Amino acid sequence: MKMEVALPTDVNTAKRPVRILASYVMDADNVSENHSDELHSLASLAGRAIVAAAADVQVVFVDSSNPDSSVDRSLTKVDGVLMLGGMDVDPRRYTDDAAEIAKAEASSPVADAFEIDLIRTASDRGLPVLGICRGAQIMNVAFGGTLITDLGKGTIHTIAGATDFCDHPVLIQASSRLGSIYPAETVDVRSAHHQAVDQIAPGLRVTAAAPDGIIEAVEAADDRWLVGVQWHPEDEGGNREHLDLLAQALIAEARKIHENRLNG
Protein backbone atom coordinates (compact mmCIF):
# COMPACT_ATOMS: atom_id res chain seq x y z
CA MET A 1 0.00 0.00 0.00
CA LYS A 2 3.05 2.25 0.01
CA MET A 3 2.71 5.29 -2.20
CA GLU A 4 5.18 5.94 -4.98
CA VAL A 5 6.87 9.33 -4.72
CA ALA A 6 5.56 10.45 -8.09
CA LEU A 7 2.66 12.14 -9.76
CA PRO A 8 -0.74 10.65 -8.79
CA THR A 9 -1.86 10.75 -12.41
CA ASP A 10 -1.01 9.20 -15.74
CA VAL A 11 -1.88 12.34 -17.70
CA ASN A 12 0.85 13.88 -19.86
CA THR A 13 2.69 16.18 -17.45
CA ALA A 14 3.50 18.60 -20.26
CA LYS A 15 -0.15 19.64 -20.10
CA ARG A 16 0.03 20.25 -16.34
CA PRO A 17 2.34 23.24 -15.87
CA VAL A 18 1.14 24.40 -12.44
CA ARG A 19 3.23 22.45 -9.93
CA ILE A 20 2.24 21.72 -6.34
CA LEU A 21 4.86 20.23 -4.03
CA ALA A 22 3.25 17.88 -1.49
CA SER A 23 5.37 17.17 1.58
CA TYR A 24 4.62 14.08 3.66
CA VAL A 25 6.15 12.40 6.72
CA MET A 26 4.95 8.87 7.30
CA ASP A 27 7.76 6.35 6.95
CA ALA A 28 10.09 6.95 9.89
CA ASP A 29 11.35 3.93 11.82
CA ASN A 30 9.13 4.67 14.82
CA VAL A 31 5.86 4.71 12.84
CA SER A 32 3.79 1.52 12.79
CA GLU A 33 3.11 -0.09 9.43
CA ASN A 34 -0.65 0.34 9.83
CA HIS A 35 -0.31 4.03 10.64
CA SER A 36 2.11 4.51 7.77
CA ASP A 37 -0.28 2.82 5.34
CA GLU A 38 -3.15 5.03 6.53
CA LEU A 39 -1.06 8.17 6.06
CA HIS A 40 -0.02 7.06 2.57
CA SER A 41 -3.66 6.53 1.67
CA LEU A 42 -4.59 10.02 2.91
CA ALA A 43 -1.70 11.58 0.97
CA SER A 44 -2.70 9.79 -2.21
CA LEU A 45 -6.31 10.95 -1.85
CA ALA A 46 -5.18 14.54 -1.28
CA GLY A 47 -2.86 14.45 -4.28
CA ARG A 48 -5.54 13.06 -6.55
CA ALA A 49 -8.00 15.72 -5.39
CA ILE A 50 -5.51 18.47 -6.27
CA VAL A 51 -4.98 17.01 -9.74
CA ALA A 52 -8.72 16.54 -10.28
CA ALA A 53 -9.48 20.13 -9.26
CA ALA A 54 -7.95 21.62 -12.42
CA ALA A 55 -6.71 20.45 -15.81
CA ASP A 56 -3.35 22.21 -15.58
CA VAL A 57 -1.99 20.87 -12.29
CA GLN A 58 0.88 18.53 -11.45
CA VAL A 59 1.56 17.20 -7.95
CA VAL A 60 5.03 16.08 -6.90
CA PHE A 61 5.55 14.34 -3.56
CA VAL A 62 8.58 14.72 -1.32
CA ASP A 63 9.33 12.45 1.64
CA SER A 64 10.38 14.98 4.27
CA SER A 65 11.79 12.28 6.54
CA ASN A 66 14.19 11.29 3.76
CA PRO A 67 14.31 14.15 1.24
CA ASP A 68 16.32 13.48 -1.90
CA SER A 69 17.14 17.14 -2.45
CA SER A 70 17.49 20.42 -0.57
CA VAL A 71 14.56 22.69 0.20
CA ASP A 72 15.88 25.20 -2.32
CA ARG A 73 16.00 22.60 -5.08
CA SER A 74 12.65 21.08 -4.08
CA LEU A 75 10.99 24.46 -4.56
CA THR A 76 12.51 25.06 -7.99
CA LYS A 77 9.71 25.76 -10.48
CA VAL A 78 7.11 25.02 -7.79
CA ASP A 79 4.02 27.24 -7.65
CA GLY A 80 2.50 26.09 -4.35
CA VAL A 81 3.07 23.80 -1.38
CA LEU A 82 0.80 21.26 0.32
CA MET A 83 1.85 20.18 3.81
CA LEU A 84 0.19 16.86 4.59
CA GLY A 85 -0.64 15.07 7.82
CA GLY A 86 1.71 12.66 9.54
CA MET A 87 3.47 11.90 12.78
CA ASP A 88 3.90 14.25 15.73
CA VAL A 89 6.01 17.37 15.63
CA ASP A 90 8.85 16.80 18.11
CA PRO A 91 7.92 18.84 21.24
CA ARG A 92 11.58 19.80 21.67
CA ARG A 93 10.93 22.22 18.82
CA TYR A 94 8.78 24.36 21.12
CA THR A 95 9.31 23.32 24.77
CA ASP A 96 11.97 22.05 27.18
CA ASP A 97 9.38 20.57 29.58
CA ALA A 98 10.38 16.91 30.00
CA ALA A 99 6.85 15.85 30.94
CA GLU A 100 5.43 17.40 27.78
CA ILE A 101 8.18 15.92 25.62
CA ALA A 102 7.38 12.47 27.01
CA LYS A 103 3.77 12.72 25.79
CA ALA A 104 4.76 12.81 22.14
CA GLU A 105 4.31 9.78 19.93
CA ALA A 106 6.32 8.98 16.79
CA SER A 107 8.33 11.88 15.39
CA SER A 108 11.12 12.60 12.92
CA PRO A 109 13.70 15.33 13.60
CA VAL A 110 14.76 15.21 9.93
CA ALA A 111 11.19 15.76 8.75
CA ASP A 112 10.61 18.58 11.23
CA ALA A 113 13.74 20.41 10.11
CA PHE A 114 12.97 19.96 6.42
CA GLU A 115 9.33 21.05 6.66
CA ILE A 116 10.06 24.06 8.87
CA ASP A 117 12.65 25.23 6.34
CA LEU A 118 10.23 24.41 3.51
CA ILE A 119 7.43 26.53 4.97
CA ARG A 120 9.69 29.47 5.80
CA THR A 121 11.35 29.42 2.38
CA ALA A 122 8.04 29.07 0.53
CA SER A 123 6.66 31.98 2.53
CA ASP A 124 9.73 34.11 1.77
CA ARG A 125 9.24 33.39 -1.94
CA GLY A 126 5.57 34.31 -1.83
CA LEU A 127 4.34 30.78 -2.56
CA PRO A 128 0.93 29.71 -1.27
CA VAL A 129 1.04 27.00 1.42
CA LEU A 130 -1.85 24.79 2.54
CA GLY A 131 -1.34 22.69 5.67
CA ILE A 132 -3.50 19.73 6.68
CA CYS A 133 -3.43 18.40 10.28
CA ARG A 134 0.31 18.10 11.03
CA GLY A 135 0.75 20.61 8.20
CA ALA A 136 -1.13 23.24 10.23
CA GLN A 137 0.81 22.34 13.37
CA ILE A 138 4.26 22.51 11.76
CA MET A 139 3.25 25.81 10.16
CA ASN A 140 2.58 27.26 13.60
CA VAL A 141 5.84 25.88 15.02
CA ALA A 142 7.82 27.14 12.02
CA PHE A 143 6.93 30.72 12.86
CA GLY A 144 7.48 30.46 16.62
CA GLY A 145 4.22 29.05 17.96
CA THR A 146 3.68 26.09 20.28
CA LEU A 147 1.50 22.98 20.36
CA ILE A 148 -0.55 21.12 22.91
CA THR A 149 1.54 17.96 23.03
CA ASP A 150 -1.35 15.66 23.91
CA LEU A 151 -5.06 16.46 24.19
CA GLY A 152 -5.63 13.35 26.27
CA LYS A 153 -8.32 10.73 25.99
CA GLY A 154 -12.04 11.26 25.61
CA THR A 155 -11.93 14.37 23.43
CA ILE A 156 -14.17 15.17 20.47
CA HIS A 157 -11.15 15.01 18.17
CA THR A 158 -10.82 11.22 18.12
CA ILE A 159 -13.14 8.39 19.06
CA ALA A 160 -12.60 7.58 22.75
CA GLY A 161 -9.16 9.17 22.54
CA ALA A 162 -8.00 6.57 20.04
CA THR A 163 -6.77 7.26 16.51
CA ASP A 164 -10.07 6.57 14.77
CA PHE A 165 -11.61 9.33 12.68
CA CYS A 166 -14.70 11.11 13.90
CA ASP A 167 -16.73 14.19 12.99
CA HIS A 168 -17.31 17.38 14.93
CA PRO A 169 -18.30 20.97 14.11
CA VAL A 170 -15.95 23.93 13.83
CA LEU A 171 -16.75 27.63 13.75
CA ILE A 172 -14.92 29.54 11.02
CA GLN A 173 -14.30 33.27 11.18
CA ALA A 174 -16.24 34.74 8.28
CA SER A 175 -13.75 37.59 7.85
CA SER A 176 -10.81 35.23 7.33
CA ARG A 177 -9.26 33.83 4.16
CA LEU A 178 -10.60 30.43 5.21
CA GLY A 179 -14.03 32.03 5.61
CA SER A 180 -13.88 33.13 1.98
CA ILE A 181 -13.15 29.54 0.93
CA TYR A 182 -15.89 27.78 2.91
CA PRO A 183 -19.53 28.70 2.22
CA ALA A 184 -20.73 28.36 5.84
CA GLU A 185 -19.40 29.57 9.18
CA THR A 186 -20.16 26.29 10.97
CA VAL A 187 -19.13 23.06 9.26
CA ASP A 188 -18.68 19.45 10.33
CA VAL A 189 -15.12 18.26 9.80
CA ARG A 190 -13.30 14.91 9.76
CA SER A 191 -10.97 14.73 12.74
CA ALA A 192 -8.25 12.50 14.18
CA HIS A 193 -5.49 14.18 16.17
CA HIS A 194 -4.01 14.22 19.66
CA GLN A 195 -1.85 17.32 19.21
CA ALA A 196 -3.13 20.82 18.43
CA VAL A 197 -2.04 24.43 18.07
CA ASP A 198 -1.56 26.11 21.45
CA GLN A 199 0.15 29.52 21.43
CA ILE A 200 -0.35 31.07 18.03
CA ALA A 201 2.83 32.11 16.22
CA PRO A 202 3.62 35.77 15.57
CA GLY A 203 2.30 36.66 12.13
CA LEU A 204 -0.43 34.03 12.19
CA ARG A 205 -4.01 34.22 13.44
CA VAL A 206 -6.66 31.74 14.52
CA THR A 207 -9.48 31.34 11.99
CA ALA A 208 -11.49 28.35 13.27
CA ALA A 209 -12.13 26.58 16.58
CA ALA A 210 -13.95 23.50 17.85
CA PRO A 211 -16.73 23.66 20.47
CA ASP A 212 -14.21 22.76 23.18
CA GLY A 213 -12.05 25.75 22.25
CA ILE A 214 -9.31 23.81 20.48
CA ILE A 215 -7.81 25.77 17.57
CA GLU A 216 -8.80 24.16 14.27
CA ALA A 217 -7.35 26.52 11.66
CA VAL A 218 -4.66 29.18 11.31
CA GLU A 219 -3.56 31.50 8.55
CA ALA A 220 -1.19 34.39 7.92
CA ALA A 221 -2.34 37.64 9.47
CA ASP A 222 -0.93 39.57 6.49
CA ASP A 223 -1.33 39.07 2.74
CA ARG A 224 0.73 35.86 2.57
CA TRP A 225 -1.36 32.87 1.45
CA LEU A 226 -0.62 30.52 4.35
CA VAL A 227 -3.62 28.44 5.45
CA GLY A 228 -3.61 25.50 7.86
CA VAL A 229 -6.57 23.31 8.85
CA GLN A 230 -6.46 20.75 11.64
CA TRP A 231 -9.02 18.44 10.07
CA HIS A 232 -8.70 15.79 7.33
CA PRO A 233 -10.97 16.68 4.37
CA GLU A 234 -9.05 14.12 2.32
CA ASP A 235 -10.22 11.15 4.42
CA GLU A 236 -12.60 8.81 2.60
CA GLY A 237 -15.24 9.59 5.22
CA GLY A 238 -14.69 13.33 4.93
CA ASN A 239 -16.64 15.92 2.99
CA ARG A 240 -15.25 15.90 -0.57
CA GLU A 241 -16.68 19.35 -1.23
CA HIS A 242 -14.53 20.74 1.60
CA LEU A 243 -11.41 19.19 0.06
CA ASP A 244 -12.30 20.51 -3.39
CA LEU A 245 -12.80 24.04 -2.04
CA LEU A 246 -9.38 24.02 -0.37
CA ALA A 247 -7.73 22.48 -3.44
CA GLN A 248 -9.26 25.04 -5.77
CA ALA A 249 -8.20 27.91 -3.52
CA LEU A 250 -4.60 26.66 -3.36
CA ILE A 251 -4.50 26.12 -7.13
CA ALA A 252 -5.89 29.59 -7.85
CA GLU A 253 -3.05 31.15 -5.86
CA ALA A 254 -0.46 28.79 -7.34
CA ARG A 255 -1.61 29.68 -10.85
CA LYS A 256 -0.89 33.36 -10.12
CA ILE A 257 2.69 32.42 -9.20
CA HIS A 258 3.05 30.32 -12.33
CA GLU A 259 1.73 33.05 -14.61
CA ASN A 260 3.98 35.65 -13.00
CA ARG A 261 6.97 33.39 -13.65
CA LEU A 262 6.00 32.90 -17.29
CA ASN A 263 5.53 36.63 -17.78
CA GLY A 264 8.58 37.63 -15.77
Number of domains the chain contains: 1
Top pLDDT among 242 and 43 is at 242
Q: In this predicted model, what pLDDT tens digit does every residue of 208-260 receive, in sequence order?
A: 999 999 999 999 999 999 999 999 888 777 788 888 999 999 999 999 999 88
Catalytic-residue membership of 166: no
pLDDT of amino acid 257 = 93
Out of 40, 193, 194, 232, the active site residue is: 232
Which of 116, 122, 152 shows the shortest CA–CA distance to 134?
A: 116
Alpha helices per DSSP H over 161-218? 177-181
Out of 40, 115, 133, 168, the active site residue is: 133
- Residue 220 C-beta-side C-alpha neighbours within 13 Å: 16
Out of 115, 216, 219, 234, the active site residue is: 234
Is the separation of the CB atoms in 22 and 78 below 8 Å? no
Is the separation of the CB atoms in 231 and 196 below 8 Å? no
Whether residue 231 lies inside any domain: the answer is yes
Whether residue 3 lies inside any domain: the answer is no
Q: How distant, in Å, are the alpha carbons of 44, 59, 61, 218 from that of 13?
A: 17, 10, 14, 32
Top pLDDT among 17 and 182 is at 182
Whether residue 22 lies inside any domain: the answer is yes
User: Residue 89 sits in a domain of what CATH number?
Assistant: 3.40.50.880
Top pLDDT among 148 and 240 is at 148
Catalytic-residue membership of 241: no
Top pLDDT among 123 and 8 is at 123
Q: Which residues of 148-171 are buried (b: 16+ CB within 10 A; e: fewer)?
A: bbbbeeebebbeeeeeebbebebb
Residue-range definition of the domain harbouring residue 251: 13-263
Whether residue 2 lies inside any domain: the answer is no
Catalytic-residue membership of 133: yes
β-pair partners for 248: none
Q: In this predicted model, what pLDDT tens digit does every residue of 89-142 receive, in sequence order?
A: 999 999 999 988 888 877 889 999 999 999 999 999 999 999 999 999 999 999
